[in-house]
Amino acid sequence: MSSAESPQTEQKQTLAITKVVEADRKLKRELGFLDLLGLSMGGIIGSGWLFAVNAAAAVAGPSVILSWIIGGILILFVALVYAEVSGMLPRTGAIVRYPHLTHGSYTGYIMGWAYLLSAVTVPTIEAEAVVGYAASYIPSLTQTVKTVFGPVSVLTPPGIAFAFVLLVVFFFLNYAGIKILGKTNTYVTVWKIVIPVLTFILLFAAFNSSNITSLPGGFFPYGVSSMFLAIPTAGIVFAYLGFRQALEYGGEAKNPQKDVPRATVSSILIALVIYTLLQIAYIGALKWNVAGLSPGDWGDLTKSSVPYSSGPLYVALSKSGIAALAAFSYVLLFDAYVSPSGTGWIYTGTGTRTFYGLATDGYLPEAFIRVNKRGVPLISLIAAFIVGMFFLLPFPSWYLLVGFISSATVFTYMMGGAGISVFRKTASQLPRPYKLPAVSVLAPIAFIAASMIVYWSGFTVLFFVFTGILVGLPLYYIFYAPKGLGVSRALSVVLGVVFWAIIGYLSYYAYQNIVYYFASHVTSSGTITASQGSYILSHFLVYFPALSALTIVYTLIFQFLSKPEKRRQVVGGWWLIVYSLATMALSFFGAFGLLPVNGVTPIGFPFDTLIMVGLSLAFYFGAYYSGYFTEDLKQLLLVEGVQQQKP
pLDDT > 80? residue 5: no
- Rounded mean pLDDT, 515-525: 92
The three-state (H, E, C) secondary structure of 91-130, written as one string = CCCHHHCHHHHHHCHHHHHHHHHHHHHHHHHHHHHHHHHH
Q: How many helices (H) and strands (E) are present in the chain, helices listed first?
A: 27, 2
Q: What sign does the dihedral 286-225-408-159 (CA atoms) show?
A: negative
Q: Which fold has domain 30-455?
A: Amino acid/polyamine transporter I (1.20.1740)
Query: Cis before residue 606, ω within 30 degrees of 0?
Result: yes
Q: What is the DSSP string of 551-575?
A: HHHHHHHHHHHS-GGGHHHHHTTHH
- Residue 498's pLDDT band (boundaries 50, 70, 90)? very high
Please give the distance of CA 115 from its chain centroid, rounded to a whole number. Answer: 7
| Residue 492 to residue 368: CA distance in whole angstroms | 20
Query: Within 13 Å of residue 619, how many CA atoms lie on the same side as its CB?
Result: 26
| Residue 86 to residue 430: CA distance in whole angstroms | 12
Question: Which tens digits make up the pLDDT trace of 266-296?
Answer: 999 999 999 999 999 999 999 999 999 999 9
- Residue 578's pLDDT band (boundaries 50, 70, 90)? very high
* pTM of structure: 0.89
| Residue 642 to residue 419: CA distance in whole angstroms | 19
Question: Which tens digits make up the pLDDT trace of 171-226?
Answer: 988 887 655 444 455 666 788 889 999 999 999 999 999 999 989 889 999 999 99
- In whole angstroms, how large is the CA radius of gyration of the chain? 24
| Residue 247 to residue 83: CA distance in whole angstroms | 6
Strand 150-155 to strand 142-147: parallel, antiparallel, or no bridges (unpaired)?
A: antiparallel
pLDDT > 50? residue 607: yes
- Rounded mean pLDDT, 491-513: 98
Q: What sign does the dihedral 463-465-468-470 (CA atoms) show?
A: negative
Of 39-53, 181-195, 353-367, the range with the lowest mean pLDDT is: 181-195
What pLDDT was estimated at residue 177? 62
Of 89-98, 350-359, 379-388, the range with the lowest mean pLDDT is: 89-98
What pLDDT was estimated at residue 517? 97
Residue among 627, 629, 622, 593 at smallest CA distance from 609: 593
The conformation of residue 427, written as its DSSP 8-state character, comes to: S
Q: Where exactly are the structural domains of the chain?
A: 30-455, 457-561+573-626
